[in-house]
Structure 1
Amino acid sequence: MELGTLLLIIVVPGVILYIWYAKLISRRNAAREALSSIDVQLKKRHDLLPNILKLAGRFMTHEKDLLEGLTALRARVDAGYDPSDPAAVQAHLTAGQELQSGMARFFAVAENYPELRSAETITKAQDTFTEAEAHISAARRFYNAAVTDLNNAVEIFPGSMIAGWAKVKPMPFWEMEDTSHRAAVNVDDYLK
């Protein structure tokens, strides 16, 4: 066998494997970058929440449990996590989802307090919160697109073999909780 042919047999597969490996790593990094952009948006919401809760606390003395629950959820979302651990990422995303649901309940309850509803600062805070949620939604779409690319590359042969060798794992999607089983929020339930 000629040296050139032997070199071709060794080099071409090596180059192909390296290219595949490089694509896996760049897709993983793109998914991590997208996760980081979600964290940036969650941080904005996180910084906004204390002000909203302080404003509301002045008016909503009967809703102490709701306000304390939101504060606890905020702390859970703020807790650190390992972005290379799919379970930790999933727990982080779930905590963010629970906080989003809690804030929706909070604003529903706040609608029943006319003095709170008429306060210009709470109205502006609610608008800012709505804007932050829209940014989180956009970041979530970007993250899920990056995760789709990564997971496809990791799960389809021969990427699955290379991913196993490179220790690249699929990442979880950020999915909304199934709300089909929940009834609409009734504000009167919170005011008893």
Structure 2
Amino acid sequence: MGTAIILIVILVVIVVILALVAIGSYNGFVKSRNMIQESWRQIDVELNRRYELIPNLVETVRAYAAHERNTLEDITRLRSQAQSVAQTDGALPSQQRADVEEQLSGAVRNLIVSVEAYPDLKSNQNFLELQRQLAETEDRIAAGRRFYNANVRVYNTKVESVPSNLIANTFHFEKATYFEVNDPSVRQAPGVSFGEIAYRGDPQQGQLPPQQSAPPVQFGTGNGLPDPQQQYATPPQNQQPTQYQQPSQNQQPPAQGGYQPPQTGSYQPPQQ
């Protein structure tokens, strides 16, 4: 009888522990899901702000850069498509909306780059203000995307881990979608060529062209440069040295009639 009571107590304790673990895991899923939804609302506010700025940007560019008609039409189409998808999405973004928003970001970025060819447009105050607001909006979207993806990573890890995945499967907690940027032009780091930065002249004036190394200097090959191995070498026997030679003791200083170089043999006095 006493053994049965002990077994019952042990089973009750195990059930209570499992229940507490399950409740804690469930509450953790709910908290993570709410964090994801809250972080997405911050991104959604900035996306809607971008929807409002794009029409004014398109009209301003159209007045100065009529040749960018295709780019402007793509931006308008992607904006309408993104708004349509946003209305049908739930509390969290779908992969379709993430793809459309990525394409819209790339189109706006390409338009800002292309207007560099229009000086009048770059000096327009309305365009400059729209460009500044769009840049700030994109920065806030990027910051919100990092915070959102961090929450998604924590949530998805719980969905796939053991034993929390049992609670996720039981209560239908599905994986959330990342809001990523897969455009290679955004991820690629700008290349810097130090040769191009340093080169500012004409190669014919003695400067090297970009990305071309200087030819090796050859000594003693007729290019006007001395050979360092021969510069201080001992001269040949049949060649007189060019350095100053101190006169020997049997040589006398020159007289008034002028100095005569000594001849081979005995000393010859200078003629008066």
* TM-score, normalized by the shorter chain, greater than 0.5: yes
Q: For residues 75 and 16 of structure 2, what CA distance do their matches in structure 1 show?
A: 58
For 1:147, give the aligned amino acid.
V
* Aligned-residue offset at 1:130: 0.5
- State the Cα distance separating 1:6 from its structure 2 match: 4.1
User: Equivalent residue for 2:40?
Assistant: 35
Q: 2:160 aligns with which of 129, 146, 155?
A: 155
Paired residues, number: 181
Tell me the amino acid that sits aligned with residue 98 of structure 1. Answer: Q
User: What's the CA shift string for 1:87-132, capped at 9, x where partnerless?
Assistant: x611111111111100111111111111111101101110110000
User: CA shift at 1:84, angstroms?
Assistant: 6.3
1:82 aligned partner? 89
Structure number with greater CO (CA < 8 Å, separation at least 6) is 1
In terms of fraction of residues, the more helix-rich structure is 1
| Aligned counterpart, 2:28 | 23
> 8 Å contact 1:32–1:83 — kept in the other structure?
no
**Which letter does structure 1 place at the counterpart of 2:58?**
L
Report the 3-state secondary structure (helix = DSSP H, G, I; strand = E; otherwise coil) of the residue aligned with 2:117.
coil
Deviations 1:148-171 (A, max 9, x none): 110111110111111111111111
Corresponding position of 1:187: none
The 1-side partners of 2:99 and 2:11 are apart by 53
Q: Which runs of 5 or more residues in structure 1 are unaligned?
A: 185-192
Which residue identity does 2:89 align to in structure 1? Answer: D
Query: How far did 1:8 drift?
Result: 2.0
C-alpha deviation, 1:7, in angstroms: 3.1
How far did 1:68 drift? 1.2
Letter in 1 for 2:115: A
Identify the residue that residue 12 of structure 1 maps to in structure 2: 17
Alignment of 1:5-154 (within 5 A): 5-79=10-84, 80-83=87-90, 89-154=94-159
For 2:126, give the aligned amino acid.
T
Please tell me whether residue 176 in structure 1 is matched to residue 181 in structure 2.
yes
Task: Report the CA distance between 1:4 and its aligned residue.
Answer: 4.5
Partner letter of residue 38 of structure 1?
I
Give the TM-score of the pair, scaled to structure 1: 0.86
Q: Distance in 2 between matches of 1:143 and 1:48?
A: 23
Alignment partners' CA distance in 1, 2:49 and 2:61: 19
What is the CA RMSD across the aligned residues, in angstroms?
A: 2.1
More displaced 10-residue stretch of structure 1: 106-115 or 127-136: 106-115
Alignment partners' CA distance in 2, 1:15 and 1:142? 30
Aligned letter for 1:94? D
The farther-off stretch of 60-69 and 143-152 is: 60-69
